[in-house]
Structure 1
Amino acid sequence: MEQKTNVMRILEQKKIKYTEHTYAGTGAVSGAEVAQALGQDPAHVFKTLVTFSPRSKKYYVFMVPVAEELDLKKAAKAVGEKSIEMLKSKELLPLTGYVHGGCSPIGMKKQFVTTINKTAENYDTIIFSGGKIGYQVELSLTDLKKVIRISAADIIVE
């Protein structure tokens, strides 16, 4: 691979094995298109969403399968908040260092409380953004937990 992303460098520093996937040049934009471009089951590919609690002024990161929608009520409950809202696209880069579509839970400017949908526990590995549009990394949830603090909960719309 010609390009290492920050996420890949962090995983290598921590001696964590990962598989790299690239979909650059496929024209895939949505998570479902990315999963298709990679030839993967969309339930196995996760997107990283950043939210904000207006009450506590805290930010939270959620990872859900690409074809699913984050249930804001369940997500708020999972992190002990009354309510949360999606972060505006323009606020993403200054807050996390990542652009919309290339946001990874690993390597953000700050580490935020991160919750992954519990279906991730059904897979040996999960695939998520490598921190740059066109790049995905695949690793086990156990290994992901060695890099960031993450908990699992039911956070998707039924």
Structure 2
Amino acid sequence: MKQKKTNAARRLDELKIAYRLMEYTVDEEHLDAVHVAAEVGMPAAQVFKTLVVRGDKTGVVFACIPGDGELDLKALAKASGNKRAELVPLKEVLPLTGYIRGGCSPLGAKKNYPVYMDASSNSWDEIAVSAGVRGMQIVAAPADLQQATRAVVASLTF
């Protein structure tokens, strides 16, 4: 069965960045990254979730952090040049990004929002991020994903 390409995967194709797609069964009750990691057979710290955050100066940014991590909003605010940052309410995620909860990717969103990636990403040969739909992850080298998203790498978790 041929996998359907997502905008996120097409973006990596355009940049000639190597990646692989991993599909998994979606459980509507468990959309969290820890569950996804178990489904794809990777440690939760290697499967990065993409959170949509609004800074008081910059507006919307993406924070990519390990699936088992907790976002430090103060650290993100500092890294992104904001005084304050807060998670965007769930109802605003789809209109802002084109993505739904459990399928939010730092690649291929409706707008090119700034991406901040947790520094722990560099301790892995490859990490997974959402491919932009529930049930599919993109697995690639952290440096390649950082290049593709123009990510700023910083310590973003507690």
* 2:65 counterpart SS class: strand
Residue pair 2:73, 2:85 contacting (<8 A) in 1 also: yes
C-alpha spacing 1:105/1:124, structure 2 compared with 1 (3 Å): same
- What RMSD, in angstroms, separates the aligned Cα atoms of the two structures? 1.5
Residue pair 1:51, 1:61 contacting (<8 A) in 2 also: yes
Aligned equivalents of 1:59, 1:37: Cα separation in 2: 30
Aligned equivalents of 1:19, 1:25: Cα separation in 2: 18
* 2:106 counterpart SS class: coil
- Partner of residue 76, structure 2: 75
* 2:51 counterpart SS class: strand
> Runs in 1 of length 4+ with deviation above 4 angstroms?
25-28
Letter in 2 for 1:3: K
Aligned equivalents of 1:57, 1:44: Cα separation in 2: 28
Letter in 2 for 1:16: I
Which stretch shifts more, 111-120 or 2-11? 2-11
Aligned equivalents of 1:145, 1:30: Cα separation in 2: 22
1:3-152 to 2 correspondence within 5 Å? 3-25=4-26, 28-53=30-55, 55-56=56-57, 58-152=59-153
Aligned equivalents of 2:47, 2:151: Cα separation in 1: 17
Residue pair 2:50, 2:65 contacting (<8 A) in 1 also: yes
Per the normalisation by structure 1, the TM-score is: 0.92
C-alpha spacing 1:39/1:85, structure 2 compared with 1 (3 Å): same
C-alpha distance after superposition, 1:70-115 (max 9, x if no partner): 0111111111211110001111111111111100000011111211
Deviation at 1:145, TM superposition (A): 3.0
C-alpha distance after superposition, 1:9-45 (max 9, x if no partner): 2212222110111113566521101000111011111
Aligned equivalents of 1:26, 1:98: Cα separation in 2: 17
C-alpha spacing 1:60/1:25, structure 2 compared with 1 (3 Å): closer
The unaligned stretches of length 5 or more in structure 2 are: none
Aligned equivalents of 2:139, 2:3: Cα separation in 1: 18
Residue pair 1:129, 1:135 contacting (<8 A) in 2 also: yes
| Paired residue total | 156
Residue pair 1:26, 1:37 contacting (<8 A) in 2 also: no
* 1:127 counterpart SS class: strand
Residue pair 2:57, 2:83 contacting (<8 A) in 1 also: no
Deviation at 1:56, TM superposition (A): 2.1
Identity rate, percent: 37
